[in-house]
Structure 1
């Protein structure tokens, strides 16, 4: 381009891939073209933006540099293709009608929180959008949740049923307006509207439904509020009695509830917020961020019982901003029956939630795909996704996979991943597939992504577990089965672009092993293609199959039996139940062998009297982490033995130490600290042994147990001191929500090999 004579016009075709639809990219290109005297056109093409243009050497260079270096804030450019074409005389520059090219790389625009300019509009009495709850522009508003197909145009979304009024159409056509080519543009004259009704289906007649909703919230009512991706159940975050009522009605006694706070200053009153956490909170993704609570804060303890942390988000729709004008803190938990997917259709939500909510604040903009709020935390200064959802999903990573592949994920915390044109797209969190409604939603999202991304699956990847529902989804075609913990390791490796051999430390709750036993306390040496299991926690016979996960006392009884103790040590459990479990263990009835560290945590939590039963996933382990005495540096004795070149971590000495402390009436907080310190120390010892033997310095830490931040930090810091390179998941969940991505990372290396193909 730079060699052209300044007065000689040339023509180029540029394709830009990434998050470039639904973010004001075409208007941006249009204005930039006008600025530099570029002639031609721009359009949405498939999932990309295409620019066909002519210009001279100087203005072409300036045009391209401006587009690449200064795109609109929400845009993310992943790839650019540029080629010269035969010269064609253009008279002007225009935004042309979109085209659907199925062969192009596609990136689905994500839902975005309301931008500051739109917030000003809804708060400004002189604005035509004063208090309009669906105000948006090219920088903000719903995207993924309302898209039926690509390219992203109004007729491809659920906004197609709303025809723009003349004023909105003028804004849409006006290149100086920030709503220039905003596909979701609307106002009170032509757009969606709100309705407020009680749980008997009676419409509340009032002048302003938002004001009325605020009054009901102040009175202690529970409101089901329809948002971008589905319904929330909302109530005042300062009313302890209403929160207790919500917990009782939803049958959610202990699991922490998310809160939405008015602004960042309110958040800082109640939580410790570092610079990175503030950046994430204020981003247009607006996730729930897990923050450390300040001591002695004046908030109801039943928001997050016995927790040191709080899940906090800021407003991200006009509805939220308007309500939070007068209420500074709201409980905003997923609008669903516990264990079921989030409700997103008006009629279904009313029928499902009328025994929980007192009122329903609903609207008539259809949600095409339900999506939960994302949950993230900041660890070591890095944003780490805990639950992939609104604002982040579907994610897109370049794994350079040539085939169209679908990875079916895990059973709980399920997700799906699809590959197309070298990119892997990972869906939002889809819940526990053992629930029929979750499975139906899983199928719906999978079908939608296959269609919208034009995926023609040649290979299906699934977990090795013979009874996982996801593994049985596809009966025909090539199927690759991936060991659960290898998927954890490979996913983390793919995130960090690691191909060579690593040491994998995979700590988890449940994963079907190559030997038919349940794994979860594993040390691997391997690559994305294959692995060797070189160490693990001793197998313990766990009684109760699925019941043991919900009833940690069964884990405690099983570990005690293994170590030669009687179950009477376990507090508050009926003696007859203990005898039945011990008899079952004696005859190995309804038992399975497990090396799971998750079950070991459950055991200790029960033994010291924290949790014999749980009401949500990992509750016992979370309770154990929350009581740690950070000042304690002691640890329990442990043994690591070598059996046929596989290191086994023996658990009896650890159990002996815990039992001795219980008998000596040592504080629970000290026992918890010593147990955590023990796991950290033995993990580091194992890794150093393996590093010396195998001459490997890269270490992967992955699996759901590493949601335990204390454990992750202790191991990370110690191994760093020893000069090793430590990696953990951040772009994808470290828990089972990242399994489908990990399965895809394994499939990438195996897809050409018939050795792994199972029909």
Structure 2
């Protein structure tokens, strides 16, 4: 029988996921000879044997790869027949341009969970059990190729038993780089009352401390968490007070899906997220308190109908939850506004005033990575924070970048993005880029990604806001700069998320972003593609009295809107006026004079204003709080809406938000229930979205809509808007791989920069049509409803 030899190159996430053992087993089963190895590009294979077995081998590579593998590209070519008789795993090769991808961290697999609970297994109760199908990846890797020497496991020399598994092709730990056991691997330590890192099981004093109402710092995969019993109100309240986190909800870790269902409603899509390899925090609708057993302390998520729930994703979490037998709060190990602590000495210093004790270990974390947060919209993922479990998996770009790009992101919910060819590497969640610590986390992350993926940026994309730390940093770089308008980046992010280039009718609703005219935008209708945009319409601008103070005190936005809505004669019987009577006149005067009162078209600020008028909240303790609580107030059974006609505003159309505020205030004065008022407002905004997009379609013929910006995290608004748009025949693009909030802006900036390198843009022709249509949109009338 004639022999045939083939060289194979496989790119994607194929290192650290058991791909070489898979190839070895497949080749030996088919009686083929050759070798498989890792290098800077991925996996290389040389295989030879009979023609039929070789063909079967090539088909099986893509037909049944390891579950965690993500194959992006396979290339094959002829190779010389050498007469080999065996198949081997070759030593990893290094050198040349790096293209190999690194797997995200992966939740503990079922096989390792069986080891964890089997008294006959030497890893029974061992908190660092892993195999080729699970365990730490991104958070421990220092360099590629992904081999033990290039991870933080390099300092743990394998014992004879682990080495035997590592070198045994028939073992599931064959070439599992973090393989270890109690004899040779990392170990737990407890620091605090009732024990130390010396003798005994460190879990015992940790569990005892939690049961007694203490706060425990726990070292996880990507950093430290702070834990307390979820049902223990004094403990959770103490954690909230020490962490300086007044109202923002805490996440809860439940032992399994059954435990999660005792707290919340869990549909099949949410169960898929909860139990999947990424194990994000999933936002679930809470059960009524009377039906919850055990209860969740009021301080876990004050006044919130939703609860962020996650399941254990490391052996340590499984051991801790099984010992406790009840859910725990598990929140980021930081003080509010700081990045998560991940280095041991830093954690002891920063968290020492919050935690009563520490449950830690001696495996270093190379890169801090906070938990991901996801909710489900119409059966698909809607990320709120993309981090552990998803990063650093790259996203494909519709247009490849001719030169390497670094996109610096926005300020809040910061991420950055590096682009090489058609791959966009969106970073883990950094945090709010407002202080030195988060800026350092950003620069350290950029350096790590540059080294890991061998990317030296030649183009740096940044936000237009001159005061963002990311913008200031970008301007100091030795690279070609591309300034990207904030809301264009939002729409471009949605386009890139969906793998399309546009043009589309883009609706970008958020808190605020620096507009190309120097004002603060945030309620925008754009005609956009990846390379450019035109502003077609927007929320009518209003003053923001006190500037940034108006963000923290939504009643100020209510004062500005009400003053305009009632032509300066605001009814004094409105509760928001009474509650803030001492400062009302001064704030209105600021707004009228335009002193420290920049104009804004922000939809987020309109939500703030209406929430304050409705008595939801006059001041906030975390971003978007008033709008979040206003959404939860709304009665979903109400389907009528306040009228809000779009009006001509020069060369664009405008949305008169004052009409909506006036309608809300009039209803409240007429004693209409607040849940009805909230629903009517949401329905009105959804109709505004549909009406604005209908105008754009009449002008430009665009029937695809992209929805982006943090306001579209509001599921009630998003659902109503998508329904109305689809009823009118639009194709609607929403986010499902990166967040609609500012966490997705870096991807949009990167996509814009990549597209800007292309010669032509469809948006240019659309701009001409838009310009010609502006004067005919309203048919000579000043107002329209479509």
With the length of structure 2 as denominator, give the TM-score of the two structures: 0.93
Contact residue 234 and residue 332 of structure 1 kept, 8 A: yes
Deviation at 1:582, TM superposition (A): 2.2
Deviation at 1:633, TM superposition (A): 2.1
**Which residue does 2:60 correspond to in 1?**
66
Deviation at 1:422, TM superposition (A): 2.4
Instruction: Measure the CA separation in 1 of the matches of 2:541 and 2:107.
Output: 48
Question: 1:665-719 CA deviation, whole Å, 9 max, x = no partner?
Answer: 3222121111111111122122122222321110111111000000000010111
SS at match of 2:225: strand
**Which residue does 2:332 correspond to in 1?**
334
Instruction: Measure the CA separation in 2 of the matches of 1:719 and 1:693.
Output: 17
Instruction: Measure the CA separation in 2 of the matches of 1:395 and 1:733.
Output: 15
Deviates more, 1:116-125 or 1:399-408: 399-408
Deviation at 1:574, TM superposition (A): 4.5
**Which residue does 1:491 correspond to in 2?**
493
**Among 68, 83, 87, the residue aligned to 2:81:** 87
Contact residue 577 and residue 584 of structure 2 kept, 8 A: no
**Which residue does 2:462 correspond to in 1?**
462
Deviation at 1:103, TM superposition (A): 2.2
**Which residue does 1:548 correspond to in 2?**
550
Deviation at 1:202, TM superposition (A): 7.6
Instruction: Measure the CA separation in 2 of the matches of 1:134 and 1:42.
Output: 28
CA RMSD, Structure 1 to Structure 2 (Å): 1.7
1:215 aligns with 2:208: yes
Contact residue 21 and residue 47 of structure 1 kept, 8 A: no
1:51 aligns with 2:45: yes
Instruction: Measure the CA separation in 2 of the matches of 1:169 and 1:386.
Output: 41
**Among 260, 269, 285, the residue aligned to 1:267:** 260
Deviation at 1:644, TM superposition (A): 3.3
Within a 5 Å distance, the mapping from 1:303-322 to structure 2 comes to: 303-322=300-319
**Which residue does 2:3 correspond to in 1?**
9
With the length of structure 1 as denominator, give the TM-score of the two structures: 0.96
Deviation at 1:573, TM superposition (A): 4.5
**Which residue does 1:661 correspond to in 2?**
667
Instruction: Measure the CA separation in 2 of the matches of 1:493 and 1:204.
Output: 51
Deviation at 1:469, TM superposition (A): 1.0
Instruction: Measure the CA separation in 2 of the matches of 1:104 and 1:17.
Output: 11
Deviation at 1:56, TM superposition (A): 2.0
Deviation at 1:520, TM superposition (A): 0.6
**Which residue does 1:736 correspond to in 2?**
742
Deviation at 1:338, TM superposition (A): 0.8
1:644 aligns with 2:650: yes
**Which residue does 1:97 correspond to in 2?**
91
Within a 5 Å distance, the mapping from 1:117-516 to structure 2 comes to: 117-198=111-192, 203=196, 207-296=200-289, 297=292, 298-327=295-324, 328-399=326-397, 400-474=400-474, 475=476, 476-516=478-518
1:587 aligns with 2:593: yes
Question: 1:611-637 CA deviation, whole Å, 9 max, x = no partner?
Answer: 111111100100100111122222222
Instruction: Measure the CA separation in 1 of the matches of 2:56 and 2:760.
Output: 50
Structure 1 gap segments, 5+ residues each: 1-6
SS at match of 2:433: coil
Question: 1:709-747 CA deviation, whole Å, 9 max, x = no partner?
Answer: 000000101111222101111111111000000111111
Structure 1 residues 166 and 566: CA distance shift in structure 2, 3 A: farther
Contact residue 195 and residue 362 of structure 1 kept, 8 A: yes
Deviation at 1:379, TM superposition (A): 0.6
Instruction: Measure the CA separation in 2 of the matches of 1:391 and 1:638.
Output: 43
Question: 1:627-672 CA deviation, whole Å, 9 max, x = no partner?
Answer: 1112222222222112334111112322221111222232221211
Deviation at 1:104, TM superposition (A): 4.4
Instruction: Measure the CA separation in 1 of the matches of 2:337 and 2:569.
Output: 35
Runs of 4+ in 1 over 3 A off after TM superposition: 565-569, 571-576, 752-755
SS at match of 2:646: strand
Q: How many residues are aligned here?
A: 748
Structure 1 residues 706 and 65: CA distance shift in structure 2, 3 A: same
Contact residue 34 and residue 93 of structure 1 kept, 8 A: yes
Instruction: Measure the CA separation in 2 of the matches of 1:714 and 1:375.
Output: 23
Deviation at 1:585, TM superposition (A): 2.0
Structure 1 residues 362 and 215: CA distance shift in structure 2, 3 A: same
Question: 1:304-345 CA deviation, whole Å, 9 max, x = no partner?
Answer: 111111111111111111111132201000111111000111
Contact residue 395 and residue 427 of structure 1 kept, 8 A: no
**Which residue does 2:782 correspond to in 1?**
none
Question: 1:130-172 CA deviation, whole Å, 9 max, x = no partner?
Answer: 1111111111111100110000000100000100011111111
Deviation at 1:47, TM superposition (A): 4.2
SS at match of 1:139: coil
Instruction: Measure the CA separation in 2 of the matches of 1:708 and 1:574.
Output: 28
Deviation at 1:221, TM superposition (A): 0.9
**Among 522, 525, 528, the residue aligned to 1:523:** 525
**Which residue does 2:725 correspond to in 1?**
719
**Which residue does 2:768 correspond to in 1?**
none
1:683 aligns with 2:680: no
Instruction: Measure the CA separation in 2 of the matches of 1:583 and 1:722.
Output: 43
Contact residue 430 and residue 441 of structure 2 kept, 8 A: yes
Question: 1:198-231 CA deviation, whole Å, 9 max, x = no partner?
Answer: 28x9836652111221121111111000010001
Question: 1:24-70 CA deviation, whole Å, 9 max, x = no partner?
Answer: 11111111110112211111111411112222210111111112111
Instruction: Measure the CA separation in 2 of the matches of 1:709 and 1:249.
Output: 32
Deviation at 1:566, TM superposition (A): 5.6
